[in-house]
Amino acid sequence: MTSVLAGPLSAINYAEPWYVQIIKALLIFAIGFSLVPLVLLYERKLLGRFQGRPGPNRVGIYGSMQPLADIGKLLFKEQFKPRGAIGWLFIAAPLISMVAALATFPLIPFSGAPQEILGTKVGLYGLDSDIGLLIFFAFSAIGSYGILLGGWSSTSKYSFLGAMRGAAQLISYEAAQGLALLGVVMTTGSLSLSEIVDKQDHMGLWFLVPQIVGAFIFFVATLAEINRTPFDLLEADSELVGGFMTEYGGGRFALYYVAEYVHLVVAGAMFSTLFLGGWNIPFWNGAPGFLDPFVVLAKTLVIVSIIIWIRATLPRLRYDQLMSFGWKILLPLATLNALVTAIVLVAL
Amino acid sequence: MEVSADDEKTGSGGHAGGPDREAATGSREQDAPATKGERDRGAKIADQTSATTPEADTDGQPDEGGGSSPSADPQAESPATATATALQERTEREAEWEELARRYRADEATIDFSTQLGAVATQDEAELLTINMGPHHPATHGVLRLLTTLEGEVIRDVKPIIGYLHTGIEKTAEDKAYWKVIPVVERMDYLAYYFNAMAYCGAVEDLLGVEVPKRAQYLRVIHLELNRIMSHLVWLGTTMLDLGAISILWYAFRERETVLDLFEYSSGQRMHTRYFQIGGVVEDIPAGWATKLQRFLDEMPTRLDQYEAMLSKNEIILQRLKNVGVLDARRLQEWGVSGPLLRAAGVPWDLRKATPYSSYDDFDFKVPVGTIGDNYDRYAVRVAEMRESVKIIQQALDGLPEGPTITEDRKVALPPRHELATSMEALIHHFKLVTEGMRVPEGEAYFPIEGPRGELGCFVRSNGSSKPARVHMRDPSFVNLQAFGDMARGEYIADMIATLACLDPLLGGIDR
């Protein structure tokens, strides 16, 4: 087992030759980026259907070019910076958001055993680390810096309020999110994402069933983590205009925007990996390996659809309600869930 | 660069930074000399007067200054006195202005302009953050400006500043013939155009003493209630949008479209229809309109059920609305608040019941009231009002009497087209009405009606000519907005937005 990130913290379960890794890295980057416009279009179309309207349908066939037109428009706009903005932080903040969002994408395993592609064995993931889950949490924590710094450095009061909300919200929900996964980690006995899926494969049971409470808490906390309704307080457009990105425009705004949708995809994929059995197809053990990535994507799509559905239905929580919900309901529930899981595991 | 950035940061953080405070003091010092200068000028004028007055008094006596003064001539006495009096008056006037200016400045001093300077003024208030919401803000329902003082997320003070949508409609109305004023006043409260027209037409009809035919009254009721439903639908959609429930907006606007289609069918316009005329309505409803209306009336209650299924049982909505923005009935009445806001606090005050106009006493409907006057009651009252409106329209449609749709008084209403070819008198009436308009006897009239936002009254004064001497609207949005500060103080910033939305202010009506 050759270790690329040789160090005391991690061991890589399977690593390919360096050239395969470079190609893989580029591919993952490309896929991650091309998923964004697709999800963008999907969300707008689906929201339109929920709201009794067709959604975008002018640009391209079935409105397919709309996201590209939007992003293109943003990229060609003037790079505006408020006079009082703290220059380099103002520029760096969206980049931090973007990098942190993209960095979590390679952690998602898209298949079990390494696939045979052109005579080379390739694992369909960017990195299968022993501590994959920890890396995921680390990067989502770094992602919140993008929001904090962006809101703070643009020296707008709306941005500032948005950033303050962001700080409080992300911190309080990260705790519940992490604790909710303890059940899964304890049952598997590993933090590696591919091993978590393998465990579900062996049990013949998705973690959604035994860890239903954990799944619920993780889902809710993830909504807060990626700033989706009903927890989209950071950019509550009716109160804070645009929240932490009020002062951002053009390409920098596009970075935040894209990061948000990468987060959405990663959240969906992470949930399907942890609780919906990843590439596992129920009642079909002999499924061919090339189906695996599509199964993961299909499950991701389901979760993404649910998140969009929630956005179409639910109103926004108030700041204090959000905090008390996080600390008083989710966190005790997550702790209880971890305790009960531990007791059951020991008893069995 | 670094230093300036640092200052800005401190300003946005709500801590009064040194330079910012200096700026604040500086501007005040700039104010002070200006005031002083004005006082000096006043004093100078006073000096001049005192210098002139003795001169006038000692008129006729040898000049003490020794110069050749024309005032030695006794005949010059009266002009000199006149000048003195004029100067005296001017001094008094100046003093009056001075007093007014002083009062204005005192008023102005209560407005917190510290937002423009970037920081709050004193050390005690260093924890406060003044934030300027609007006039361009997505949730201020138009161009309302809210100077909001925040402590964290809690509102300590909020001051609505209006006037960004002033159109001078009331003044414009004075320059138009009576019947040409209707389309102008319709554009004040742009979601209640039938109500504006009704209030104005009612006032002019009172002055003229014109009897409106029964059919016209019923048609007016149908359109008024349709308009009320339409206005409440826009309110529902935008309020829920402010709470973050985006889909309701589209559902509400879907039904609104149906209403607007009905308006278009009956009058040719979707908004600002100019359907109501002085003395009746402009023409009868077209064939097939009643069927379309019936279809809408059958559909609307089920739609309302759907909204309530989506909203009234939604835990987040309930948490956001209940016990928020509470103001008791007494305080509301002190502010002069009327309409759904007052009814939500438990006062069954509805002008349709209290002083029935346009045959409202013919219909059987209830006045929904709330209990404590929080945002939830405001929501519930408005939804219930839509149901009652549907009932009223149904009754009016079923009992729609036959007859003319506008008064037979040829001095007020245009003669029918066919008469023009046969009757000379009709031709003359037509000519006079179109070129000059109707002459309204001298007098004043105030006509209050129950608008979707409260008491909408129109005051018209006539001086006997064909143009109104004064048209004034008592717009409910304007009066209701006064209570906003009381409602919002101590709430969270998100609740302030919800409260403002539940207040249902319409800037077109507020600024006029």
Q: Which two tokens stand for residue A71?
A: 């992003």
Tell me the nearest-neighbour CA distance from B30 into chain A, angstroms.
25
Q: Does a structural domain hold residue A99?
A: yes
CB A81 within 8 A of CB B1: no
Q: Does a structural domain hold residue A185?
A: yes
A52, A157, A239: residue with CB nearest B139: A239
CA B213 to chain centre: 30
pLDDT band at B79 (very low <50, low <70, confident <90, very high): low
pLDDT band at B64 (very low <50, low <70, confident <90, very high): very low
Q: Does a structural domain hold residue A11?
A: no
Task: Note the pLDDT tens digit of each residue in B492-511.
Answer: 888 888 898 888 888 888 88
**CA count, 13 A, side-chain hemisphere, A315:** 31
Show the domain range for A316: 18-347
Quick one: pLDDT at residue B414?
86
Query: Which residue is closest to B10 within chain A, CA to CA?
Result: A155
Strand segments, DSSP code E, in B142-277 are: 145-151, 154-161, 276-277
Residue B139 has pLDDT above 80, yes or no: no
Q: Which two tokens stand for residue B298?
A: 């059958």
Q: Do B129 and A318 touch (CB under 8 A)?
A: no
pLDDT band at B124 (very low <50, low <70, confident <90, very high): low
Phi/psi of residue B130, nearest 5 degrees? -95, 125
Quick one: pLDDT at residue B229?
94
Round to whole Å and give the CA distance between B342 and B329: 6
Tell me the nearest-neighbour CA distance from B137 into chain A, angstroms.
7
Strand partners, A122: A115
Task: Note the pLDDT tens digit of each residue in A311-325.
Answer: 888 888 888 888 888
Provide CB contacts within 8 A for A239, sequence distance 6+: B139, B493, B494, B497
Q: Does a structural domain hold residue A5?
A: no
Write out chain B residues lying below 8 Å of A313, CB-based: 245, 247, 310
DSSP 8-state secondary structure symbol assigned to residue A278: T
Q: Which two tokens stand for residue B390?
A: 């549907």
Task: Note the pLDDT tens digit of each residue in B369-426.
Answer: 988 888 999 999 999 999 999 999 999 999 999 888 888 888 888 888 888 888 898 8
Write out chain A residues lying below 8 Å of B13, CB-based: 160
Q: Which two tokens stand for residue B426?
A: 């009709």
| Share above pLDDT 70 across residues of chain B, in percent, rounded to a whole number | 81
Nearest to B205 by CA among B462, B475, B429: B462
DSSP 8-state secondary structure symbol assigned to residue A329: I
Collapsed DSSP state (helix, strand, coil) of residue A82:
coil
Q: Say whether residue A58 is in contact with chain B using an 8 A CB cutoff.
A: no
pLDDT band at B113 (very low <50, low <70, confident <90, very high): low
Residue from B247, B249, B324 to probe the interface with A (highest A Cβ count within 10 Å): B247
Query: Pick the residue with more confidence: B152 or B288?
Result: B288
Domain total of chain A = 1
Task: Note the pLDDT tens digit of each residue in A70-80.
Answer: 888 888 888 87
Quick one: pLDDT at residue B33?
42
Q: Does a structural domain hold residue A143?
A: yes
Quick one: pLDDT at residue B230?
93
Round to whole Å and give the CA distance between A322 and A309: 20
Q: Does a structural domain hold residue A189?
A: yes
Q: Which of A41-55, A265-279, B106-120, B168-182 is predicted least confidently?
A: B106-120
Q: Do A238 and B9 touch (CB under 8 A)?
A: no
CB A231 within 8 A of CB A223: yes
Round to whole Å and give the CA distance between B304 and B315: 18
Write out chain B residues lying below 8 Å of A316, CB-based: 243-244, 316, 320, 494
Q: Do A312 and B247 touch (CB under 8 A)?
A: yes
Round to whole Å and give the CA distance between B501 and A239: 12
Tell me the nearest-neighbour CA distance from B368 into chain A, angstroms.
26
Place of tokens 């289609």: B261
Strand partners, B1: none
Q: Write out the H or E segment, with its range, that includes residue B246.
A: none
Q: Does a structural domain hold residue A214?
A: yes
Provide CB contacts within 8 A for A205, sequence distance 6+: none
Round to whole Å and give the CA distance between B291 and B287: 9
Task: Note the pLDDT tens digit of each residue in B241-254.
Answer: 888 888 889 999 99
Query: Which residue is closest to B496 within chain A, CA to CA?
Result: A239
Tell me what ipTM this predicted complex has: 0.84
Nearest to A277 by CA among A330, A338, A210: A210
Q: Do B5 and A158 touch (CB under 8 A)?
A: no
Q: Say whether residue A160 is in contact with chain B using an 8 A CB cutoff.
A: yes
Relative to beta strand B129-133, strand B145-151 is: antiparallel
Q: Which of A269-273, A290-294, A297-301, B344-348 is predicted least confidently?
A: A290-294
Classify domain B169-511 by CATH architecture: Orthogonal Bundle (1.10)
Q: Say whether residue A90 is in contact with chain B using an 8 A CB cutoff.
A: no
Residue B2 has pLDDT above 90, yes or no: no
SS3 assignment for B447-492:
EEEEECCEEEEEEEEECCCCCEEEEEEECHHHHHHCCHHHHHCCCE
Write out chain B residues lying below 8 Å of A237, CB-based: 138-139
- Tell me the pLDDT of chain B averaged across its residues: 80
In angstroms, what CA-CA distances link B243 with A236, B40, B388, B496, B504? Answer: 9, 55, 26, 11, 14
Round to whole Å and give the CA distance between A94 and A2: 35
Round to whole Å and give the CA distance between B454 and B231: 12
Write out chain B residues lying below 8 Å of A232, CB-based: 244
Round to whole Å and give the CA distance between A231 and B170: 45
Residue B68 has pLDDT above 60, yes or no: no
Q: What is the CA radius of gyration of chain B?
A: 30
Q: How many CB atoms lie within 10 A of CB A231?
A: 26
Q: What angle do CA B294, B300, B305 make, to 5 degrees?
A: 150
Round to whole Å and give the CA distance between B241 and B370: 23
Task: Note the pLDDT tens digit of each residue in A96-110.
Answer: 988 888 888 888 888
Q: Do B494 and A237 touch (CB under 8 A)?
A: no
Residue range(s) of every CATH 1.10.645.10 domain in chain B: 169-511
A311-344 burial by CB neighbour count: b if 16+ within 10 A, else e? bbbbbbbbbebbbebbeeebbebbeebbeebeee
Residue B19 has pLDDT above 50, yes or no: no
- Tell me the pLDDT of chain A averaged across its residues: 83
**Where on the phi/psi map is residue A189: left (φ > 0), alpha (ψ -120 to 50), or beta?**
left
Query: Which residue is closest to A152 within chain B, CA to CA?
Result: B9
Phi/psi of residue B131, nearest 5 degrees? -125, 135
pLDDT band at A282 (very low <50, low <70, confident <90, very high): confident
Tell me the nearest-neighbour CA distance from B496 into chain A, angstroms.
9
Q: Say whether residue A234 is in contact with chain B using an 8 A CB cutoff.
A: no
Residue A278 has pLDDT above 90, yes or no: no
CB pairs under 8 A between A and B: 105
Q: What angle do CA A184, A186, A188 make, to 5 degrees?
A: 70
Q: Which of A60-69, A229-238, B50-59 is predicted least confidently?
A: B50-59
Write out chain A residues lying below 8 Å of B314, CB-based: 314-315
CB B167 within 8 A of CB B183: no
Quick one: pLDDT at residue B293?
92
Write out chain B residues lying below 8 Å of A230, CB-based: 244, 316
Round to whole Å and give the CA distance between A332 and A341: 14
CB B470 within 8 A of CB B438: no
B1, B9, B137: residue with CB nearest A155: B9
| Share above pLDDT 90 across residues of chain B, in percent, rounded to a whole number | 26
Q: Does a structural domain hold residue A2?
A: no
CB A98 within 8 A of CB A255: yes
Q: Say whether residue A155 is in contact with chain B using an 8 A CB cutoff.
A: yes
